[in-house]
Amino acid sequence: MDKTMQTDRAAIGQRLRSLRRDREWSLDRLAAEAGVSKAMLGQIERGESMPTVSTLWKVAGALRAPLSHFLASTTLPATVSPREWLHDSAGMAVQPLFAFDPTLGFEMFVIDLQPGGMSESAPHTAGVIEHVVVVEGEMALFIEGEWQTLAAGEGRRFAADQPHAYRNDGLRSARFHDLIHYPGPNR
């Protein structure tokens, strides 16, 4: 295992443990709220397991925290700069473009979805809105109970407090930007 992967695992685990303890939640409570096993959460906190993007989104949703809390530094860059990608076994790779900004209530990611890749997202907190814009390739987006195909240059805004999913049925990777807006004042 390379040193970067060990560092990422450790940093994600430390951030998860800190956030969970700040909320005074047990591992049992987080497991029940997130739909992730207590054993898996313990492995993530100890840096023994690298969570999938889907798992991190479930945990972030349960804790009512932005996903970028686990992926990005605590500073808020004013410009986009290259960062590490979080790769998922489901064929998805995520890179924060802008970490969560509590004043504006949003975070933004660039996401690559490999051919055949699919990621299902549990509903986010009530009032969360996602803006998805395809920049390369083509993908399918499951919203409002149906799959919609989006090509490069097309986008959708939708209520992310409902089940939604991303899928790539094509032969080449699809890249899209995902801006997630959290309602105030609880952000």
Please state the rounded mean pLDDT for residues 89-116. 88
| 35 belongs to a structural domain | yes
Residue 149 belongs to domain with CATH number? 2.60.120.10
Report which of residues 59 and 131 the model is more confident about. 131
Q: Do 158 and 94 fall within a single domain?
A: yes
CA distance 169 to 66: 28
Average pLDDT over residues 59-64: 85
**Running DSSP on this structure, what letter comes out for residue 173?**
-
pLDDT greater at residue 34 or residue 138? 138
Most confident of 86-95, 141-150, 178-187: 141-150
Contact 89, 131 (CB under 8 A): no
Do 10 and 45 lie in a common domain? yes
> Mean pLDDT over residues 7-25, rounded?
87
Q: In this structure, are 12 and 99 located in the same domain?
A: no
Domain annotation covers residue 105:
yes
Q: Do 147 and 110 belong to one domain?
A: yes
148 confidence band (pLDDT: 50, 70, 90): very high
pLDDT at 152 > cutoff 90:
yes
Same domain membership, residue 111 and residue 174: yes
Q: Which pLDDT score is estimated for 83?
A: 62
Q: How many domains does the chain have?
A: 2
Whether 22 has a pLDDT exceeding 80, the answer reads: yes
Q: Say how far apart CA 114 and CA 121 lie, in whole Å.
A: 17
**Would residue 66 count as lying in a domain?**
no
The pTM score is 0.71
Q: Which domain holds residue 161?
A: 76-181
Strand order in the sheet with 86-87: 86-87, 92-101, 106-113, 174-181, 129-136, 155-159
In a shared domain, residues 46 and 83? no
What CATH number does the domain containing 24 carry?
A: 1.10.260.40
Asked whether residue 56 is domain-assigned, the answer is no
Shared domain check, 104 and 24: no
